Structure 1
């Protein structure tokens, strides 16, 4: 069962994470378009250039899933909340355990600055902190990534996640042209 309260906003030293809103559509579209060349190597959703209407519809659905506890996506903004840096959040939630998976991407102009590491650290703390102490009370948290995505895989490794498995021929590449492996990292409490 999902916790009674899930924070709609989290702040780190440099960043502000907020639940998605259709009002974010223009900023989200701009960040996606500025990053598409890089993202399409790893993200199936980045294969086609989205329209503003598609992004707005996606954010409307994401806000509904956040409210229901089905998925907890956050938009990552600069500390002032003016520039969209990327997106992250909890997917594949199972509130019976409870557990989830963290996914993340950073807009190309902001890569290499430690933003994703900072975001994943904040989300890890939120997830594994007991519910009575302001957290989500997860007992298991995963990060899955392609072994070829060195930037993505360094994040769980730097944060002390253990490598549970390398799932061979587990998925297809983001463009659907070849089989790919999946690394599964986890932290438990």
Structure 2
């Protein structure tokens, strides 16, 4: 049976995931602001994050989604210095179908060090341990870093949603990767 009780902190070897706190909104906004061009290439929400208030709204929304068991969003921190480096979440959660999507982003200064791969591993293991059967990662075909994380974690490419969203006035595709608890 799938558990609806999510831990507010999940530990990895080099990183840990912690449920967002409202008082971290300014830190989150600062990282988004510093990485605006880097993140905006593939993440449509970046254009709507223009103030600390926007990050506060995001955190409040994630708390509401947490309460109704719809999404479980975490900040990612380094163990050694407690540095905030990005976000990861179980989103589009379906307890009925025992499935969830994993969404994430990272501060560009910490990209390429395996931190996000570890964060995905930690969250995926937690989800499978708690009864989830299927996990998905969705990304733009040109988002090679995200695509490579899915492949490193042995997700299978299920298919491509052609021309299914618009970002930066350009129609884009979405790759859908999945992993089962039996893989």
Q: Tell whether the structures are fold-level matches, with TM greater than 0.5.
A: yes
Partner of 1:168: 162
- Which runs of 4 or more aligned residues in structure 1 lie more than 2 Å from their structure 2 counterparts after TM superposition? 1-4
For residues 102-148 of structure 1, what are the alpha-carbon distances to aligned partners after superposition, in whole Å with 9 as ceiling and x for unaligned? 0110011111111110000111111112xxxxx2x111100010001
Q: Which moved more, 1:97-106 or 1:4-13?
A: 4-13
Residue 181 in 1 paired to residue 165 in 2? Answer: no
Q: Which moved more, 1:45-54 or 1:161-170?
A: 45-54
How many Å apart are 1:188 and its aligned residue? 1.3
Partner of 1:132: none
Give distance in 1, aligned partners of 2:70 and 2:49: 26
> 5+ residue gaps in structure 1?
130-134
Q: TM-score, normalised by structure 2?
A: 0.93
Q: TM-score, normalised by structure 1?
A: 0.90
For residues 69-111 of structure 1, what are the alpha-carbon distances to aligned partners after superposition, in whole Å with 9 as ceiling and x for unaligned? 1111110011157321000011111110110100110011111
Aligned residues: 181
> 5+ residue gaps in structure 2?
none
Give distance in 1, aligned partners of 2:124 and 2:57: 28
The CA RMSD measured in Å over matched residues stands at 1.6
For residues 22-80 of structure 1, what are the alpha-carbon distances to aligned partners after superposition, in whole Å with 9 as ceiling and x for unaligned? 11111111111111110010111112452112211221121221232111111001115
**Residues 48 and 54 in structure 2, CA contact (< 8 A), matched pair in contact too:** no
Partner of 1:8: 8
Partner of 1:99: 99
The within-5 A match list for 1:13-28 is: 13-28=13-28
Partner of 2:136: 142
